[in-house]
A and B are shown apart, each in its own frame.
Chain A
């Protein structure tokens, strides 16, 4: 089972990539754990998580080929 994860803005400073594929992840809580273990600095910053381009605020079950994105706020003008 593959979940595609996209990173935006300064999050790519932490992940050093804008896209990764993770396997065997049941839900977004587990995804959070996995990402926090791989990139501890993610715990320090604010971002919103989307699943198939909708913002989620609670744990969501992930199906095969789901697209997840981590979007931070931008402030520059």
Chain B
């Protein structure tokens, strides 16, 4: 009976000549760890569970928020405030009770990552920050696990499959500094993009497990949803990359991924909202919005200059006052602007600040 329902549930993929019962059994045997139950993780989980991957782990320490719902399609309005992994597990178990789902409601760090990954065959990275991405990459190299990588930026997405001898550091050996690259809460994202990219990740995963078709092993594909173009490059192993990756558990656990991607190196004075408001009241200040023109919401009610980061150097001379506060969407790019300003013209004779949390921290005032 179980065998019958097994065949019936997966009938349409089992009748595919290349896939067959062999492919289905391979899926059933497979253990896949999905890191991040966000825009990318949701479609990945839906399709892998529906396809009949035997065991699926979900790592996410987040709670469902209203602003997730347009793209994180495992969750509904009644889930707001609940743990993502619990909501995901509930829905996925109903969808396909044959799949074993394990949930990990915490953040991966160097103390738990290796143990977590070790029991899985494949890892899918759908996280939203470089700190975790570099850590997962290094852990997969160390444990020799294939890593399926997905990331998005506005209307474009990147997909790659890393497998010995190739890893993410063969493209980008070192992490960018915090603030250098915007995440979705800053840059925005149209909901179908993570849907499309997430499905590409699920597809790579199914091909990798079943052995059908060609995977993106050793390639990085960039997909642009606005013009449907895709651009695929070849990745070759570099000696630099292997020199940067911890070679054993001890050195992995001792690596400070937070520091590698982080601001501690930037030395920018940050203001919280209260300090910011009192500064504006008490000092002649140039408030500079460094977001690109057209980014929303506008900084209504505050006298300010607009110098987008993309043309920052050219218009830097517009800044005249002795106290300067840079602001952006979430407080990342403004730190970059503050650092650049210090580098270019300020010799310590002006007071330079960045507003912590950016526009998002002023939400209730605009």
Contact = CB atoms under 8 A, between A and B. Distances in A.
Bind each other: yes
B153 A74 contact: yes
Interface in B214-253: 220, 222, 231-236, 238, 240
A41 B313 CA distance: 7
A71 B180 CA distance: 14
B189 interface: yes
Contact of B153 (A10, A44, A50, A69): A10
Given A77-B36, A77-B126, A40 B313 contact: yes
A6 B194 contact: no
Nearest to B234: A54
By CB atoms of chain A within 10 A, which of B36, B153, B171 has the most?
A: B153
B151 interface: yes
B340 interface: yes
B194 A77 contact: yes
Contacts of A41: 309-313
Contacts of A76: 39, 128, 151-153, 182-184, 187, 189, 194
A55 B235 contact: yes
A53 B235 CA distance: 9
Nearest to B128: A77
Interface residues of A, number: 26
B146 interface: no
B194 A10 contact: no
A75 B157 contact: no
Interface string B124-151: 0111111001000000000000000011
A50 B233 contact: yes
B345 interface: no
Interface in A1-34: 6, 8-10, 13-14, 16
Contact of A48 (B152, B171, B189): B171
Interface size class of B (residues with CB under 8 A): 35 or more
Contacts of B184: 76-77
A10 B115 CA distance: 35
B69 to A, nearest CB: 16
A11 to B, nearest CB: 9
A69 B183 contact: no
A77 B153 contact: no
Contacts of A9: 153-154, 156, 222
B38 interface: yes
B171 A44 contact: no
Interface string A37-48: 000110011101
A24 B305 CA distance: 39
B41 A77 contact: yes
A77 to B, nearest CB: 4
Nearest to B133: A75
B158 interface: yes
Given A13-B309, A44-B180, A75 B130 contact: yes
19 contacts: A8-B222, A9-B154, A10-B154, A10-B182, A13-B310, A41-B311, A41-B313, A46-B181, A53-B232, A55-B170, A55-B234, A57-B240, A71-B171, A72-B181, A73-B130, A74-B157, A76-B151, A77-B150, A77-B151
Identify the 4 closest CB pairs spanning chains A and B, nearest first: A74-B151, A77-B128, A76-B152, A74-B153
